[in-house]
Chains A and B, each alone.
Chain A
Amino acid sequence: MTSVLASAKALQKEACATTERPVLRERGQREVFCGLTGIIWLHRKIQDAFFLVVGSRTCAHLIQSAAGVMIFAEPRFATAILDERDLAGLADANDELDRVVGRLLERRPDIRMLFLVGSCPSEVIKLDLSRAAERLSVQHAPNVRVLNYSGSGIETTFTQGEDACLASLVPELPTRDGGAPQLLVAGALADIVEDQFRRIFAELGMTDVAFLPPRKSRELPAVGPGTKVLLAQPFLTDTTARLQERGCEILAAPFPYGVDGTMAWLAKAADLWGVPRARFDEVVAPAATRARKALDAHKFRLAGKRVFFFPDSQLEIPLARFLSEELGMFPVEVGTPYLNRQQMSFDLDKLPAETLVSEGQDVERQLDRCREAKPDLIVCGLGLANPLEAEGFTTKWSIELLFTPVQGFEQAGDLAELFTRPLLRRTRLEV
């Protein structure tokens, strides 16, 4: 039997002759979350928004299970669970939804924006949530704006849920007339990271900077032809398309991980604003120097180590770029649920030629490849991590990369530390 790794490498070699990097496309069991999972961070990011999933008991169970194995803060999300009566048409699902939303808003008078989030069952029974959202928006105006998007597993993979949510916000953004260019940073960031970027842009003399999503639903940034968009997250395919429709220009840049990533990301905007290179260097130098120092503390542990990424959040390619370029690790395989070549081009081009990039998943075959490759570190989802540890591998669970502030200079060391910790832990334990 030819080894799966060997055949994957053959594909790699074959395609290396051409200019475009080859990608192994697989279809099979996908061990990934659906887009509903994004609610876990989005409901904290937009502080006066509520997320109502219209779905099944499975949806409700998923969110509470995936949330760090059950968080118990008071949530700003809930599930309207469809039951037999809704499916059999005995109850008009729309009337039921209106009733549930009414009850919810009565209980939460502080809510200003409500997202109706579609799920697999609501999509399959073709419950029209966009019409429901329009109807409910009229009913509850002016206090609450009701929007909708789909976080269903049949349409979205994990972080695509955030993409769908932000895309649903774009038509709501006020229109901005020409004038001076304005910068819009798209993609949910930890508040602290957002504040750091805001300070850097201010020091660079860029004052008209807005973030999407905003912290309050009533503080939606205006957009228009003068708006230049810098992507803070690598999974915003639909959102960028909607923004382009509004006349915004998307800046092609790498993603802001590590020193080099952050530097290039900031520089892209600064160049456009005509910030002199010397001024740019002066502004970013202190933070960049700190960050390099922080990375050095991790480099000796990570350099030369081989890392294997299972597909999860679409962060895989930029993170592999960071680990390989800035910390000297070697990515054996970088799996991504969905590859947006255009947005990924900077990071993709910097991956070593020998690195196998795979899109989609057949989890059993990928596990075979992984076992054969014997990487030093595996980045994977929660379902796979403990079994791989039990087989003797060292793993980093990928969901933590989304729940931790990792972008920007000040977080570069923290990001590296997320990968160092499991390796260090192995050396410490004597049991």
Chain B
Amino acid sequence: MQLTVWTYEGPPHIGAMRIANSMDGLHYVLHAPQGDTYADLLFTMIERNNVRPPVTYTTFQARDLGGDTAELFKSSARAAYERFKPEAMIVGASCTAELIQDDPGGLAKALALDCPVIPLELPAYQKKENWGAAETFYQLVRAYTGAQAPAPGATRPQRAAGERARCNVLGPTSLGFRNRDDVTEILRLLADLKIEVNVVAPQGSRPSDLARLPEADFNIVLYPEVAQNAANWLKRTFGQPFTKTIPIGVGATRAFVKEVCELAGIDSTAFLSRERSRLPWYSRSIDSTYLTGKRVFIFGDATHAIAAAKVATSELGFKVVGLGTYSREFARDVREAAKEYGLEALVTDDYLEVEQAVRELHPELVLGTQMERHIAKRLGVPCAVISAPIHVQDFPARYAPQMGFEGANVLFDTWVHPLMMGLEEHLLQMFRDDFEFHDGAGPSHLGGHGGARDASAEAPVAVMAPVATSEAIVLQAPVAAKPEGWAADAEKELGKIPFFVRGKARRNTERYAAERGITTITIETLYDAKAHYSR
């Protein structure tokens, strides 16, 4: 039993629903109690879809449990088939239906409907949304391509000379973070490279399109969380290689182009000889100097978190002070990435743990999900959203990809704009006591935003203490009350140090004093300690 305030992922049947909603001609019949239909609003409200997701729920109630829920499932499946006449159906159970063990797969098979029916086994008490999406996509791909599997040992026929290379683009889904625009960006890139696209799936394809997947020379995996399993199967079965690079950031996009061109057997030199993103120059232009070493905390799904850490470090010059993910399936990848920055990855789906990590690390920028946006808002730290769980704001009206060269431009803007501009930050350091221009006021170009910094982050004593509001969940006991021995002027001087390093300065100074048996910390002690630790 796990105590959960907010959850990063829904249950696995939501993942299946995302696949169903991504495709045309696929219908999902879900054995689920009344109330589970809430999931429709994820698509109609958050993603602003103009049609309902292609899902039929049995919505059983207590009175049905005494009767025949299996019959209810069968009549719902039959009615759904007759009404929607789908090309294919997926059937399964939500968490409660899993407990009553009606076997939707077997029941649907007995109906002998005039379309392929793919049963899904999504263990709701072990797995989560992304796993459910990956498993559903994999099962569909297998169902539609399995029959074409060549005999073991058979080699892939060579492409005819002069024939353009063809690829599939795998992974984009409904409710995926900026998937809509990423696909557009990547398809443009592939068109520029003169690489033919065979199938894009699941987003925008029909079940019957999946049968054509083996016709491609290779696969592009945009979101491993969703497409890794299917890509592995296609590689094993049809010898189709797939890409490993996620084209987020300029460097990664260039590496992606190289990887794709190698797979397609074309030369990428000419294409890469021209700079295609504004990010490199914007980052090198001197006004960006103030970005150097900004402390950034990163949390999201594995794909976006790893990519963000790379871009933050090597393309914006930030310092990554925390890196984590809620994608347990990809924990190893994130742990390895974290090592590159000398960090230990935070792998958790406990929102409270992430909040605590942000508090302790005092970042100057948080790149996270909507949850971290909330944490950052309360701590008064600037934040940009880089990953699902999805929010209505993650579907902007404008074109805003994360991937490709345009995606890199978008990253530069969205990560840099929440920060304080360079000169403003300097002035703030110099005139800390200015009554309308202090470090609690937030960046001047962002209006009131960021102005309400959490009282605990502001108060010199309580950087680590629980937030002041009585409603907040108390994360840990407050640190020992106001430490003894600070002279009033030293305490005041400490207040002039930027809030995100103030806690550290206090701890260092106290340790320095304790080690030397100094009982009263003066301004002298403070600067002695500063000099001591800066060596």
Residues of B within 8 Å of A120, CB to CB, are 33, 35, 95-96
Q: Are B99 and A124 in contact (CB under 8 A)?
A: yes
Within the complex, what minimum Cβ distance (angstroms) separates A360 from chain B? 10
Q: Are A30 and B62 in contact (CB under 8 A)?
A: no
Contact string against B for A residues 32-46, beta-carbon threshold 8 Å, 1 for contact and 0 otherwise: 111111000000000
Q: Are A65 and B42 in contact (CB under 8 A)?
A: yes
B14 on interface, CB distance cutoff 8 Å = yes
B38 on interface, CB distance cutoff 8 Å = yes
Q: Which has the most chain B C-beta neighbours within 10 Å: A81, A86, A364?
A: A81
In the complex, what residue of chain B is closest to A361 when comparing beta carbons? Answer: B59
Question: How far is A76 from B126 in the complex, measured between Cα atoms in Å?
Answer: 26
Residues of B within 8 Å of A73, CB to CB, are 471
Q: Are A154 and B392 in contact (CB under 8 A)?
A: no
Q: Are B14 and A61 in contact (CB under 8 A)?
A: yes
Which residues of chain A in 322-354 are interfacial with respect to chain B, using CB atoms and an 8 Å cutoff?
Answer: none
Q: Are A84 and B33 in contact (CB under 8 A)?
A: no
A83 on interface, CB distance cutoff 8 Å = yes
Q: How large is the interface on B (under 10, 10 to 19, 20 to 34, 35 or more residues)?
A: 35 or more
Residues of A within 8 Å of B14, CB to CB, are 61
* Chain A interface, number of residues (Cβ within 8 angstroms): 68
In the complex, what residue of chain A is closest to B467 when comparing beta carbons? Answer: A74
Given contacts A57-B10, A120-B35, A383-B41, contact A86 B124 (CB under 8 A): no
Selected contact of B4 from candidates A72, A81, A93, A96, CB within 8 Å? A81
Q: Are B33 and A387 in contact (CB under 8 A)?
A: no
A103 on interface, CB distance cutoff 8 Å = yes
Q: Are A58 and B126 in contact (CB under 8 A)?
A: no
Selected contact of B61 from candidates A65, A75, A91, A154, CB within 8 Å? A154
Q: Are B49 and A386 in contact (CB under 8 A)?
A: yes
Contact string against B for A residues 65-102, beta-carbon threshold 8 Å, 1 for contact and 0 otherwise: 11001101111101111111011000101001101100
Question: How far is A84 from B469 in the complex, measured between Cα atoms in Å?
Answer: 36
Q: Are B95 and A56 in contact (CB under 8 A)?
A: yes
Within the complex, what minimum Cβ distance (angstroms) separates B485 from chain A? 30
Given contacts A80-B1, A383-B52, A386-B50, contact A33 B35 (CB under 8 A): yes
A10 on interface, CB distance cutoff 8 Å = no
Selected contact of B38 from candidates A33, A76, A91, A387, CB within 8 Å? A33
Q: Are B65 and A74 in contact (CB under 8 A)?
A: no
Question: How far is A86 from B99 in the complex, measured between Cα atoms in Å?
Answer: 12
Q: Are B46 and A30 in contact (CB under 8 A)?
A: no
Selected contact of B5 from candidates A33, A75, A155, CB within 8 Å? A75
Q: Are B474 and A108 in contact (CB under 8 A)?
A: yes
Q: Are A364 and B7 in contact (CB under 8 A)?
A: no
Q: Are A153 and B35 in contact (CB under 8 A)?
A: yes
Q: Are A78 and B4 in contact (CB under 8 A)?
A: yes
Residues of A within 8 Å of B38, CB to CB, are 33-34, 37, 62, 65-66, 383
In the complex, what residue of chain A is closest to B123 when comparing beta carbons? Answer: A84
Give 7 A-B pairs besides A29-B58, A58-B11, A120-B35 with Cβ atoms closer than 8 angstroms.
A35-B35, A60-B6, A70-B370, A74-B469, A81-B3, A87-B125, A387-B50
The 6 closest A-B pairs by CB, nearest first: A34-B35, A153-B35, A383-B40, A390-B50, A120-B96, A96-B1
Can you list 9 residue pairs at the A/B interface with Cβ under 8 Å? A37-B38, A56-B96, A57-B10, A57-B128, A96-B1, A100-B3, A107-B475, A124-B99, A383-B45
